[in-house]
Each structure stands twice: as C-alpha cells, then as structure tokens.
Amino acid sequence: MLAETSLSIWGWGSLGVVLFLVTFGPFAIFYFAFYILCFVGGGFVVTLLFGKTNSEKYLEQCEHSLLPPTSVGIFKCTEEMKCEARPIKIDRRLTGANIIDEPLQQVIQFSLRDYVQYWYYTLSDDESFLLEIRQALQNALIQFSTRSKEMDWQPYFTTRLVDDFATHLRVFRKAQQRITEKDDQMKGTAEDLVDTFFKVEVEMEKEVCRDLVCTSPKDEEGFLRDLCEVLLYLLLPPGDFQNKIMRYFVREILARGVLLPLINQLSDPDYINQYVIWMIRDSNCNYEAFMNVIKLSDNVGELEAVRDKAGEELQYLRSLDTAGDDINTIKNQINSLLYVVKVCDSRIQRLQSGKEIDTVKLAANFGKLCTVPLDNILVDNVALQFFMDYMQQTGGQAHLFFWMTVEGYRVTAQQQLEVLLSRQRDGKHQTNQTKGLLRAAAVGIYEQYLSEKASPRVNIDDSLVAKLAETLNHEEPTPEIFDDIQRKVYELMLRDERFYPSFKQNALYVRMLAELDMLKDPSFRGSDDGEGESFNGSPTSSINLSLDDLSNVSSDESAQLHAYISDTGVCNDHGKTYALYAITVHRRNPTSEEIWKTYRRYSDFHDFHMRITEQVTGPIDTV
C-alpha cells in the first residue's frame, strides 16, 4: 500500500515536471527561480524605502524646537507684508478716444509681456517696477498725443510728405535709367540697382545718403535707438528721463519691440504683395487700364504669368456646361480672354525679338510731337504725375500744388454750401460750423502758400494777396474766393519759360506721351508739313490721331483701305453691359498688304461721327 502511494506521488510529480517543461520550455526552471528572486528583492526594496521615508519624517520632527519662533522684523511691517496686495488702478486713457486707446494698451501689454515680464518674474514678484515702466510709456504716448493735436498736419501731408515721396520716385527712376544705359554685361543684378540708387540720392540730396541705415541692420538699430532717445527726451518728464535704467528699458522696447518689427513688416515683399492684392480685390481696374498695362509692360515674366492665368480661366470656362443666356455670357468672356492671350503673345514676341522701340529715342527723331494742352495735363492723372515731377525739378511745385489745392477747395466748398442751402430750405436748424470749416480751410491755404511765412511761397502779385487777406478777414468764404489768384498762377505756369514751355522740350514730356500711347513710329508718318497734333483730352483723341495718320498717307502710294465689322459681342465691365465690335482693316499697296483688327464700342462710333460732323461743312450724307 505504501509502495503504491509512493509510486503514485512520483508518477504524478514526474508527469507535472514533464508537462511543465513541455509547456514552458527547458529553461523554465531557471526563469522560475529568477522570478522568485526578483519577488524577494522587490519586497526588500519596498521595505527599505518605506523605512527610510518614515525615518526622515521622524528626524524632521525631532529637529524643530518646541519653543515659539522669534520675530524677524517689525511686527507692523511684517503684518502689512503678509496682507494681500491691493489691485493697482491704472488710468487707461491715452488720447481720449476708445477706438485708439484700446489697441495702444494692447501694444503696451504685449511689449511688457514679450520683453520684460518673462525675465523679471524670475527675479521678483513686485509689480512696482512694471508699473513704473507702463506709466512711463503711457506718459510718453499722452504727451505725443497732446503735441500731435497742436500741430498743423495739413502742410506736412500735402507738401512735405508729397515732396519726399516724389523725390524718392525720381531717385528710383533715375537709378533705373542709369542701369538701362549700362552695357548688357554690367546690368541685371539687384545690388547694382541699390548701389546706383544711393549714388543718385547723394547727387540729388546734396551730401545726404541713407545707405547704411537702409542696408546695415546694426546701423539701422543704432539709428532707431537714437531716434527713440530724442523722442523720450521730448516726451518724458524730466524725472523719468534722468533715470537711465528706466530710459534704456523704454528705449529698447520702442526700438526693438515696436519700430523695428514694424519697419521689417512694411518692407517685407510678401506683405507688400498681399496688400496690393487686397487693394486690387476691393477695386478692380477697368478693361482699358488693364489692357494698357499689358501693352506697355516690358517684363516678359509678368506677361507670361498673365497669359498662363488667362489660359487657366479659359480651360475652366470651356469646361462649364451651360445653356440659355449663360452661354452667351461665357462666350463673351472666352472671347475677351482670347484677346488678352493674343495681346500677351504679341507683346512677348516683340520683346524677345528685340523689336521694342525706345520711345524716348524714337521721339527724338520726330519732327513734331503731339501737343497736350496744359488744361488736359492738369486733369489727367498720368500726365499730371509727369508734370508734377518736372515742376519739382524746376522748383515750381508750389504753384502746381496751390492750383490743385484750390481746385479741391472749390469742389468741397460748393458741395458743403449746397448741402447747407438744401437744409435751410427744408427748415432744419443750422449752425455756423460749415462756414467755420470753410473759413479755416481757406485760411490754411493762404497761410501755406501765400503768406510771408509760407515755404515754399507762391510768387504772385502782392496786391492780389493783400486783397485776398482783406476778404478773408471781413467776408464769408466762397468757392470762388481764390479764382483771381488761381487764374494768375495758371497763366504763370502756361507762359513762364521755366514751366510748361520747357516741359514740352523735356524728356519727361516724351515719356508722358509714351505712357499715354501717343507716340508713333516715323514710318507711319508722311510729310512734315502742317502743325503738330494736339490732344484735346476727349475720348476721341485716339480717333483723331488715327485720322491724322490716314490723312498723312501720300497719294502717290495709291493705298487702298477697306474696313468692315467682322464680329460683334457683348462685354461686361463692372456690372455694365455694352456692345463690342471687332473691326478688320485691310490696307493694300502695290507691293504689300497689311491686315489688322481693332475693337471699338458703340460710343467710339458716335465719337467718330461727331468728329466727321465737326470737320465737314456740308451735309453729312455727301461724305
């Protein structure tokens, strides 16, 4: 019985070992021993850590004395220090206008957060230093706002700022002209343009050059620090300015935290491009202006980009599935885009083939140029810009600015007085605010251009100036108050050899004609007999020039002209729909034949009809 029991135990034990080895592998016994060892070791480590923690707590309790702690300071002072800090009230008013004060307060808060708080809180929790810096900035802004209200900004924005901007444009254009005049091997880099720009600036500004400030980051930061130092001297109270630490902190915050990032953003090409895109998005240019830009562009890359964009739009329009009235609109859009692509291809081919003519050199070979009257120059934006550049070169910009300012005053005064009279007819209560504003505007024009303190001053008859001053002092201002002096200024610009007569002999006049597309190749001109062409400023000017071209064709050439309307369509421009005619013109000579297309609106035919009516004395049916 005992033997059987022992055999059963050994059997079952052997079976268990075999099954264990089969299940867990031959090395399972070693793993089992390792697990047991880890379990025992882990229990020992836990016991050791628990005992160590309890021992440290007990020793810490034993180290403290059972006696009450002694005071380390004056009781009243320590109690006040233990009290919670009271919230500090800050006067957030800066300019008196909430729409301006809130953004300025945010700028101050962000500047302190980004340039002071991140390191100051590692040294102290006391808010008094931050409060002093904030108060110093606010005092400077308040003082700046107060002084700004006392300044007369009109002369600066209408004269000095315009002069500076125009001078910058003149320097840039002159630098571009010098780059163009260089050999092909020496031009084409941006560094050459920058160097040439500052050389021209030295020549025109008389020993004033800003190359280091504009090209060296170190010099730029130094200039901004000096500028902020001067501003703080003018704006801060004497006590705050004498505190060097405070002054240096505020100076660095303004120079590196406000002005430098602002300048970097305004000079970033991406920001400028985005701003231009935003402006174009809000007010798209009309069809004529867009086509003129393409025809006058000399940048092949820009023309290719316009052509590619027009091609993408063509593919999109051709993929649309429309019917009814929509299909006519899409066809018109496709025709317009095809014309844009054609103009771009023609312009690119002309530029790449070297057939582009220098309009300035071309005009030098002309016997006579188109004469643009001064009246039309003053009302045309493109022509006025060239005339303004010339007047600034000759020192006569004050006369032109005075004429333009008086024109603006007259229009504004007429509108304001009409509104005033309409309200009086309606029986509404009126105040003298409108007349007071007109008087202030008239006095401002007088002080800016005609008074003894004016700089630059319009040189005009003293009797007229004295009469105007007497009128301003004793009579109500009217829209016609400056008419006599404005007429004299106009006659001076028209007849003085320094101004309009010399402008017609200047290269700027030729460039103006080129910009207005009023220059022609001499091969299209016949004899030089007769007077020069004139520009009357009307929409028929292009038709006038075309008639002159046709009339200049010699009768010996026996040229035959044949024109007919080859296609019609409807064009949409800024929500307005008008008819558009495609005219095909054939010009045949015994040796050659020319064919071209031109596009005209119905108004162009009407202008053409009016032009013929003006020149024909007999019945129009006989023409």
Distance between CA atoms of residues 387 and 360, nearest Å: 16
SS3 584: strand
Q: What is the pLDDT of residue 526?
A: 34
- Quote the distance between the C-alpha of residue 596 and its chain's center: 39
pLDDT at 87: 61
| Residues 106-112, mean pLDDT to the nearest whole number | 85
Asked if 112 and 135 count as a contact pair (C-beta separation under 8 A), the reply is: no
Distance separating alpha carbons of residues 253 and 224, to the nearest angstrom: 11
For residues 582 and 177, what is the distance between their CA atoms, to the nearest angstrom?
38
Quick: pLDDT tens for 115-127: 888 888 888 877 8
More confident site: 501 or 607: 501
Residue 448 C-beta-side C-alpha neighbours within 13 Å: 23
Query: Could you tell me the end-to-end alpha-carbon distance of the chain, in angstroms, rounded to an integer?
Result: 150
Q: How many CA atoms lie within 13 A of 230 on its CB side?
A: 5
Rounded Cα gap, residues 219 and 208, in angstroms: 16
Examine the pLDDT at 530 and tell me if it is beyond 70.
no
Condensed to tens digits (0 to 9), the pLDDT of residues 243-301 reads 888 788 888 888 888 889 889 988 888 998 888 888 877 776 777 778 878 877 878 88
Bridge-based pairing state of the strands 560-573 and 593-601: unpaired
Residue 546 has pLDDT above 50, yes or no: no
Flag whether pLDDT at 566 surpasses 70.
yes
Distance CA 442, CA 435 (A): 10
Residue found by looking up tokens 């233990």 in the block: 82
511 or 196: whose pLDDT is higher?
Answer: 196
Least confident range from 168-177, 518-527, 608-617: namely 518-527
Q: Does position 521 have pLDDT exceeding 50, yes or no?
A: no
pLDDT tens profile 450-490 = 887 777 788 888 888 888 888 888 877 788 888 888 888 88
Q: What is the 8-class DSSP label of residue 127?
A: S
| Neighbouring-strand partners of residue 584 | 564, 597
Beta-bridged to residue 588, according to DSSP, are: 560, 593
The pLDDT score that the predictor gives to residue 200 is 83
The residues pairing with 576 across neighbouring beta strands, listed in sequence order, are: 573
pTM for the whole thing?
0.48
**Poorest-confidence range of 35-49, 319-333, 372-386?**
319-333
Distance CA 454, CA 447 (A): 6
Q: Is the pLDDT of residue 362 over 70?
A: no
- The stretches of 283-396 forming alpha helices (DSSP H) are 287-296, 300-318, 325-352, 359-364, 374-379, 381-394
State the Cα–Cα distance between residues 512 and 543, nearest whole angstrom.
Answer: 19
Residues pairing with 564 in the sheet? 584
Average pLDDT over residues 324-334: 75
- Closest Cα to residue 396, out of 332, 460, 470, 485? 460
- Give the residue with greater pLDDT, 611 vs 291: 291
Mean of pLDDT values over 337-341: 89
DSSP state of 371: B
Percentage of residues in the chain having pLDDT higher than 70: 75
Provide the pLDDT for residue 544. Answer: 41
The lowest-confidence range among 64-73, 381-390, 538-547 is 538-547
pLDDT tens for residues 574-601? 445 566 677 887 777 777 777 777 777 7
The distance of Cα 245 from the centroid of its chain, to the nearest Å, equals: 38
Taking the C-alpha atoms of residue 474 and residue 271, their distance in angstroms, rounded to an integer, is: 52
pLDDT band at 522 (very low <50, low <70, confident <90, very high): very low
* CB-CB contact of 170 with 393 (8 Å): yes
HSE-CB of 180 using CA atoms within 13 angstroms? 9
Residue-wise over 407-422: b if at least 16 C-beta within 10 A, else e? eebbeebeebbeebee
pLDDT band of residue 328 (cuts 50, 70, 90) is confident
Check pLDDT > 60 for residue 545.
Answer: no
Write out the DSSP string of 526-576.
Answer: ----SPPPB--SSTTHHHHHHHHHHHTS-GGG--EEEEEEEEEEEEEETTE
Q: Provide the pLDDT confidence category of residue 606 given band limits of 50, 70 and 90.
A: low
Tokens of 572: 């949409």
Does the pLDDT value for residue 540 go beyond 60?
Answer: no
- Three-state DSSP state, 491: helix
